[in-house]
Structure 1
Amino acid sequence: MSRICELTGKGRQTGHNVSHANNKTKRVFLPNLQNVTLMSEGLDRSFKFRVSTHGLRSVEHNGGLDNWLLKTSDTKLSARALKVKRELKKAAAPVAAAA
C-alpha cells in the first residue's frame, strides 16, 4: 500500500537529518495517514479512505466529503475517490434536471 493520501495526493518527501556538526544524511518524511470512514450525504453511504490528517481537516472545513470531492481536481484524487466523485455527479444530475 503506497503512502499517499487518497483525497489530497500528499505523499512522502525527502530531506536531510542535520547533525550538530552539520553532517547531512538522507531521510524520508511520511504523511500522517489514517484509515477513516467518511459519510457521503448525497449518496447516503459511507466510504473507507486512507487520508492524511491534514486532508481530513480540509474535508471537514469544506463541509464534508461531497463538497470536497466536487471542488477537488481529478489529478489529486485516487482511483477510488474518483469513482465516488463520478457516482456523486451521476446522483446529482437528475436532481438538477428536475429543478
Structure 2
Amino acid sequence: MTNEEFQKIILEEIRALRGEVVELKQGQTRLEQRQTKLEEGQKHLEIGQEEIKKDLKAVIEQTVGLTEFRQEANEKLDILIEENDIIKEINGRHEVDIRRLKRRII
C-alpha cells in the first residue's frame, strides 16, 4: 500500500467519523428537546396534581359537613318520631275518655 492510498483511506475514515459525529450531535439535540418536553409535561402534571389535592380537600370538607347535617337530621327525625308516638298515645287516651263520656251521657 502506498502512502497516498493510506492517506486516502484515512481521509475517508475521518469523513465517515465526522458524519457520525454530526449525527450524534443531532441526536443529542433531539434528545435534549425531548427531555425539555418531558420536564414541561412533568410540571403540568405536578400542577394538575396540586389542583386535584385542593379539590379533594374541598370534597372531604363538604363530606364532613354533609355527614354532620345527616346526623343532625336523623336525630331530629328520631325526636319527631318519638313525639309522634307520644301524641298517638295521648290521642288514644283522649279517644277512650271521649267514648267513656259518651256512654255516660246516653
* TM-score over 0.5 for the pair: no
Higher relative contact order (CA 8 A, sep 6+): 1
Task: Please report the TM-score for the alignment, with normalisation by the length of structure 1.
Answer: 0.23
Task: Please report the TM-score for the alignment, with normalisation by the length of structure 2.
Answer: 0.21
